[in-house]
Amino acid sequence: MDKRELIKSAFKAKEKAYVPYSNFHVGAAVLMEDGSIYTGCNIESASYSPTNCAERTAIFKAVSEGKRKIKAIAIVGDSGYTYPCGVCRQVIREFGLDAIVIIAKSEDEYKEYTLEELLPYSFGPEDLNNAKK
Ligand code: THU
């Protein structure tokens, strides 16, 4: 996996952030199982709650193109190391229980986690499948 390339893609996506309310720019790049990369930025709304985080923009682009399995995701934001919000952690979990999450400050300065570290004891698709009917 080329982590530098993934981080670079996230920085490029961050430039597209639509953030007239927070002015907080975030970019994400998701590497799917087949090697494809999808990028996303955060997109805000005048009514605030429809705001979509960069991570979910990238993941939803991938999923809507038929990709289902996340290998890794790189996240960059305005606050040094920018960690994914709880909602995005849950969405990463849906498509990447084994995903590597890269939180980057620059192409050379990054921290790496497993999704499991960021969202331990998670609830996911298997729980619904295993439910007693
Ligand atoms: N945001 C993201 O895009 N990803 C994160 O991981 C944290 C928060 C966005 C949402 C909103 O547009 C802005 O950052 C401030 O919360």
pLDDT at 129: 83
Our mutation pick for probing the ligand 1 site, out of 23, 30, 39, 42, counting the most ligand atoms within 8 A of Cβ, is 42
Q: What residue owns the CA closest to ligand 1's atom 1?
A: 53
Summarize pLDDT for 101-127 with one digit per residue, the tens: 999 999 999 999 999 999 999 999 999
Model pTM score: 0.96
Is 53 annotated for ligand binding? yes
pLDDT at 131: 78
pLDDT mean over 93-105:
98
β-bridge pairing 37-41 and 70-77: unpaired
* Closest by Cα among 85, 89, 95, 84 to 120: 89
DSSP 131: S
Handedness of CA 69, 72, 77, 82 (dihedral sign): positive
pLDDT at 107: 96
Which residues make beta-bridge pairs with 52? Answer: 43
Summarize pLDDT for 22-32 with one digit per residue, the tens: 999 999 999 99
Domain boundaries, the chain: 3-131
Our mutation pick for probing the ligand 1 site, out of 15, 16, 57, 85, counting the most ligand atoms within 8 A of Cβ, is 85
Is 46 annotated for ligand binding? yes
pLDDT at 37: 98
| pLDDT at 133 exceeding the cut of 70 | no
Is 88 annotated for ligand binding? yes
* Closest by Cα among 84, 40, 86 to 62: 40
The DSSP result for 56-117, as a single string, is HHHHHHHHTTT---EEEEEEEESSSS-PPPHHHHHHHHHH-TT-EEEEESSSS-EEEEEHHH
| pLDDT at 132 exceeding the cut of 90 | no
CA–chain centroid gap for 35, Å, is: 16
Q: What rounded mean pLDDT belongs to the chain?
A: 97
Fold of 3-131: Cytidine Deaminase; domain 2 (3.40.140)
Residue 88, number of CB atoms within 10 A of its CB: 25
Percentage of the chain modeled with pLDDT above 70: 98
